[in-house]
A = this chain, B = another copy of it.
Amino acid sequence: MPKKLTKQEDSSKVFIGSGSNQLNRPPPILKKLTIKDIASKSGISRSTVSRVLSDNPNVNAETRARVRSVIKAMNYIPNRLAQGLVTGKINVVGLIVGDIRNPYFSEITRAVEEVLNASGYLVVLCDSAYNTEKEVDFLNVTRELRFASIIMTSAMDNEGLISNLSKLSCPVVLLNRYLQGFPTDVVSFDNQYGAYLVAEHVIKLGHRHFKVLMGPAQSSSSIDRERGYRKAFADHGITCAEDAFVYGDLRFETGYQFGLDLLKQKNRPTAVLAGNDFMAIGIIKAYIDNGLKVPDDLSVTGFDDIQMAGMSAVPLTTIRQPQVEMGQQAAQVVLDRLHGNKSLPRRIIFDAELVVRESTRRIRIPREH
């Protein structure tokens, strides 16, 4: 029985052979090195060591070299908590995203981290699960730990949130979101125009019977998108049923469930505009699993253009949102503020772009005319 033989057999050996059944590895001998130790070993005062640490120019080149070598030799690591305590700031930036499992956010996260790390900042991620309460909790942590700045994406507009944000004494950058009554830097995306574009595309393909599966109703981007959809409908003389707009939570499963629900209806829409690619893929999956075809039986559009959009079962027609650039830009704005720029709040808006793939098609049996 190869299976039995293989299972866990060799890998265990490898591991055990590597010393795992020793006692717990001993705590590192070099107990607690402080700046004082470095000072005495270098025969110099703490002040000067501190200057070396912070690259203060008022240090003799020779002294600096000597201190540096001692630091290296003793493997000294300065305590950033102590540093932060006295300076009142710490080189850490918080990043709040709605759901890290959504590629839209993980792409942004990667971009933000790259830019900020390169400038010596650490990024602390908060996955809010689209939950304002978790966001507020995180803002408190942010205060406790004296973070240098915060980048917020997603999630809802909310009174409590704003009052909590106001208590912050660090720069805040909003990413693809704005908050009524809280003026601050915003890096955003033309959600309204994007929604307009995608709706217009589907309208031009002859569709008249829509459903719109939105994101959370309170979020600023949802509001803008809804405005764009409605404007497109209005501009083309289409009146859509009031129950056409449905609000979801942007997760794949939600789209899937929505697709299943559609299948139970008698009078199905011919097109669904989804609030993000994740939900769009879920809808498509529900149709396919039940033997129907996209776009033949249903045209579906997404929003964001995540990488997966082009690779899924039916490549998605969607609105491209430049995730990497937006993340980089947000990080750049943070750095700018941290470097002391005190100008008025800025607003940087990225353009929407329609990407037509294979999840939409001209309607077969026009319902009207």
Cβ distance A315 to chain B, nearest Cβ, rounded Å: 8
Q: Quick check: A81 and B24 within 8 Å, CB to CB?
A: no
Q: Quick check: A75 and B10 within 8 Å, CB to CB?
A: no
Cβ distance A152 to chain B, nearest Cβ, rounded Å: 15
Interchain CA distance A107-B310 in the complex, whole Å: 21
Instruction: Give the contact stretch, choosing among A40-48, A62-70, A191-199, A268-276.
Output: A191-199
Q: Quick check: A2 and B200 within 8 Å, CB to CB?
A: yes
**Chain A residues numbered 85-143 whose CB sits less than 8 Å from any CB in chain B:** 85, 88, 90, 99-101, 103, 106-107, 109-110, 113, 117, 122-125, 127, 134, 140-141, 143
The residue of chain B having its C-beta at the shortest distance from the C-beta of A9 within the complex is B192
Contacts of A2 in B (CB 8 A): 196, 200, 231-232, 235
Q: Which of A18, A141, A145, A281 has the most CB of B within 10 A?
A: A145
Q: Quick check: B146 and A79 within 8 Å, CB to CB?
A: yes
Whether A78 sits at the interface, judged by CB under 8 Å, is yes
Total identical chains? 2
Q: Quick check: B106 and A145 within 8 Å, CB to CB?
A: no
Interchain CA distance A14-B146 in the complex, whole Å: 32
**Chain A residues numbered 1-50 whose CB sits less than 8 Å from any CB in chain B:** 2-3, 6-8, 10-11, 14-15, 18-25, 27-28, 30, 32
Q: Quick check: B180 and A227 within 8 Å, CB to CB?
A: no
Partner of A144 from B79, B88, B124, B252 at Cβ < 8 Å: B79
The residue of chain B having its C-beta at the shortest distance from the C-beta of A193 within the complex is B7
Contacts of A186 in B (CB 8 A): 15
Q: Which of A22, A82, A168 has the most CB of B within 10 A?
A: A82
Interchain CA distance A149-B167 in the complex, whole Å: 30
Q: Quick check: A28 and B168 within 8 Å, CB to CB?
A: yes
Whether A218 sits at the interface, judged by CB under 8 Å, is no
**Chain A residues numbered 314-341 whose CB sits less than 8 Å from any CB in chain B:** 315
Interchain CA distance A186-B167 in the complex, whole Å: 41
The count of residues in chain A whose C-beta lies closer than 8 Å to any C-beta of chain B is 94
Q: Quick check: A100 and B90 within 8 Å, CB to CB?
A: no
Knowing A8-B193, A11-B190, A27-B169, say if A19 contacts B79 (CB, 8 Å). no
Interchain CA distance A281-B15 in the complex, whole Å: 32
Interchain CA distance A122-B126 in the complex, whole Å: 9
Interchain CA distance A224-B117 in the complex, whole Å: 33
Whether A295 sits at the interface, judged by CB under 8 Å, is no
Knowing A6-B193, A190-B11, say if A85 contacts B79 (CB, 8 Å). yes
Partner of A311 from B18, B190, B192, B285 at Cβ < 8 Å: B285
Interchain CA distance A88-B113 in the complex, whole Å: 27
Interchain CA distance A191-B113 in the complex, whole Å: 30
- Give A residues with C-beta under 8 Å from B: 2-3, 6-8, 10-11, 14-15, 18-25, 27-28, 30, 32, 75, 77-82, 84-85, 88, 90, 99-101, 103, 106-107, 109-110, 113, 117, 122-125, 127, 134, 140-141, 143-146, 166-169, 178-184, 186, 190-193, 196-197, 200, 224, 227-228, 231-232, 235, 252, 281, 285, 307-308, 310-313, 315, 342, 344-345, 347, 349
7 A-B contacts (beta carbon < 8 Å): A15-B178, A18-B180, A19-B181, A24-B345, A27-B169, A80-B144, A80-B146
Top 6 closest pairs, chain A to chain B, by CB: A80-B144, A2-B235, A81-B84, A125-B125, A20-B183, A18-B180
